[in-house]
Chain A
């Protein structure tokens, strides 16, 4: 169903090709701006390029229909997509690059298809798999390495060479690595660096094949211009704290869109902002929904959906209906709890956008969402983390569309990365207390309530900030704040979680929204 349009040509004409916007991500407030020239290419397409002639000439429709899938894609990009990097010469301004972090192969395929629909020109993809080379030091990684060497005709994994023999000339990054201190990791950096260089080519070859296999399994057809690469990090450089540990990161870099990033970000922000404000037209007119966003989109009868729709099953089973009244249904999945849910759901832009956003940012194991229709997914959890008030508000609005308000959030906390521990300590001192951490490694519930309560005020203000009024978090869940959790890294972010019994209702509807028009029967697999 078409929910609205991106009126690209009208927008460029009205703004004289100037695109400017502001965005706050990871608590960084930055602007983007670009000037474009454009010309028609046939009756439906434009060719858009930076007005200074630099960058790629990108083909794009004059009017882009916003389907459920495309709105979901923008939601997904909002969570997993790159927003750009800051210009060294112009602090506070970012130059967007278009790339996408996602490991789950079906979501990779979905993103690739949407990119190709959005920009039907000469775009190309580089699929990259990044991994910490510590992965190959124990466990599955060791087996993979041995199998690789066997396949190359060697009797097994060769012994690690000395650093001076496998890496006679160290570069700056090598030297920096050798000086780094990792209290959690036993052993010598020199030995780890030697392992890295001894097996680098083998590890890269293994990971490249892993990625190729992932792409083949979901039917991503690689064009000649597409590439698959692997990127090895030096051992324990990021994420992995022990041998055999993984910190896999998968990226899709989209080529052929140089200079197009600002316009792409503008589309994303105008979609999100018009949904947040429930406005039929975005501020610049780039987005035009077919009506007020909350009043458009197909309406699902939820009892019917979970009784007959191919997406309304889990492990090929359907829920039982226990009761209903004018507003609510009461249902129960096998081996799950009774749940109240609204009788109808409108698949409106908000629902579509947050479906993609949850697929990107939600903490649920994505693989389970793809296999849950045909087999038991095991335990499921529904939780969401964001440092941005807009995302928190949109997710809560979404859950309110489906469940009674009191049922939507079990509790919430604030996760704070290690680089902000000193700020937490000072916050405690201002109240006359020291900071007591929880758990053996200190990443449990903070034991000092004064600090948690002070940070709660920050979180509620962050949630309110984009709205200029009390957020849903403040209105309904202020008293569900649980604690501050000191964690590995990153800016402070709000993390809420829901009862697991909600998962079995929310996830099928989410998957239907994103894939319903693409995959008819999810029990038969996706791509």
Chain B
């Protein structure tokens, strides 16, 4: 059985998909493959395509490594996030699109691991793309791609990049004690990675700490943060609490009063993983109960995966359904069905 760190709990194997999910994923996959064949592809498309194949067929059916070799490999042999043609989807972005990110490196590494098995992968080669190139301030992140100072970076980016990197570095047996200590100290440093209340940030923090054998340093209070992410939602969880949103300019919540949270199957999966570090059993039960209700809701309305909107304007702001969301929804539904 395969798994991916991004999707906690998901069994990436041949499984039952409800027809609506099956149809959506098949159509998405077909279009992605067609475009990829013409060189219009990104690492994230490869990842989603591979995930779909694992749940639909039980193994990879497309040569994603070949796609990487042909279109998603930089001059220095590092996997890059966007092909040249994909980069043209944005006007004037071609030169910047050629970027080797931790996610693109991890995606290539993960697909290769699935395709060849862990023993067939040169883990050390991938680890060398991360160390020391991406190591800075005791964290591992894409400072070579995005020069934004630490304080202005998205916290989810920091913990996610770190978790992805540690997975590769660990596989290469290069996670030495000195490095572990350095990274753990940064990860618990309030100035670098303050407890955020963002489910994704905290989920990846937990994953990173576990790989560092330091889960005991996970911040307290995650139960309250999870509850806050359920506010104003009939079902499920949002990645963040609207009440915590602040306009950085004014430092007030005034300008966010009309914003609405959305529930997300992906977030529900992250929340589910976070319940493992909630000591208060009643809080954990309450959250698990809500997750169960959300699973049943998705069972009834499997495509109820909304997008955000700008205040009152009912136009999707960003994506609603994506393969990742649908796969998570499918996982939650399967989990709710008694075997």
Contacts and interface: CB of A to CB of B under 8 A. Distances in A.
Interface of A: 24, 26-30, 180-183, 238-239, 387, 411, 417-427, 429-442, 444-445, 447, 449-455, 457-458, 461-462, 465, 479-483, 488-492
A326 B59 CA distance: 64
Contact of A28 (B6, B245, B311, B324): B311
Contact of A449 (B82, B161, B249, B325): B82
Contacts of B308: 423, 426-427
29 contacts: A27-B313, A28-B312, A30-B312, A238-B250, A387-B310, A419-B259, A420-B310, A423-B317, A425-B154, A427-B308, A430-B266, A430-B319, A430-B324, A432-B103, A433-B103, A435-B157, A438-B148, A442-B152, A449-B86, A449-B89, A455-B318, A458-B317, A461-B316, A462-B313, A465-B313, A481-B91, A482-B93, A488-B249, A489-B248
B99 interface: yes
A492 to B, nearest CB: 6
Given A438-B148, A444-B148, A458-B315, 8 more contacts: A28-B312, A419-B248, A434-B161, A435-B156, A440-B147, A442-B148, A449-B81, A492-B317
B324 A437 contact: no
A434 B154 contact: yes
Contacts of B44: 431-433, 450
Interface of B: 6, 42, 44, 47-48, 81-82, 86-87, 89-93, 96-97, 99, 101, 103, 142, 145-149, 151-154, 156-157, 160-161, 198, 200, 238-240, 245-251, 255-256, 258-259, 262, 264, 266-267, 307-308, 310-313, 315-319, 322, 324-325
A430 B317 CA distance: 13
A458 B307 CA distance: 10
Contact of A422 (B96, B198, B316): B198
B327 to A, nearest CB: 10
B157 to A, nearest CB: 4
Contacts of A423: 308, 317-318
Contacts of B322: 430-432
Given A183-B151, A437-B148, A418 B48 contact: no
A153 to B, nearest CB: 39
B251 to A, nearest CB: 5
Contacts of B200: 425-426, 429
Contacts of A492: 310, 317
A435 B160 CA distance: 10
A411 B91 contact: yes
Contact of B319 (A183, A431, A461): A431
A89 to B, nearest CB: 16
A447 B96 contact: yes
Contacts of B151: 183
B275 to A, nearest CB: 19
B96 A435 contact: no
Contact of B311 (A27, A183, A438): A27
8 closest A-B pairs by beta carbon, nearest first, are A427-B318, A489-B249, A29-B312, A442-B152, A418-B248, A27-B311, A434-B157, A27-B310
A442 B151 CA distance: 9
A441 to B, nearest CB: 6
A334 B91 CA distance: 30
Contacts, number: 194
Contacts of B157: 425, 434-436
A491 B248 CA distance: 13
A24 B313 contact: yes
Contacts of B239: 422, 425-426, 429
A447 B247 contact: no
A462 B266 CA distance: 27
A447 B99 contact: yes
Contacts of A461: 315-316
A324 to B, nearest CB: 31
A48 B250 CA distance: 39
Contacts of A419: 245-248, 255-256, 259
B90 A432 contact: no
Given A437-B146, A445-B96, A450-B42, A483 B266 contact: no
Given A24-B313, A439-B147, A426 B154 contact: no
B6 to A, nearest CB: 6
A476 to B, nearest CB: 13
A24 B311 CA distance: 10
A447 B256 contact: no
Nearest to B244: A422
A170 B264 CA distance: 45
A447 B153 CA distance: 12
| Best-surrounded residue of A440, A449, A481 (most CB of chain B within 10 A) | A449
A462 B312 CA distance: 12
Contact of B48 (A432, A440, A447, A453): A432
A294 B156 CA distance: 51
Contact of A440 (B42, B97, B148, B310): B148
Contacts of A481: 90-91
Nearest to A424: B318
Given A29-B312, A434-B103, A421 B250 contact: no
A489 B148 contact: no
Given A418-B247, A432-B6, A441 B258 contact: no
Nearest to A182: B251
B308 to A, nearest CB: 4
A516 B325 CA distance: 58
A26 B255 CA distance: 10
Contacts of B89: 449, 453
B25 to A, nearest CB: 14
A479 B251 contact: no
Contacts of B266: 429-430
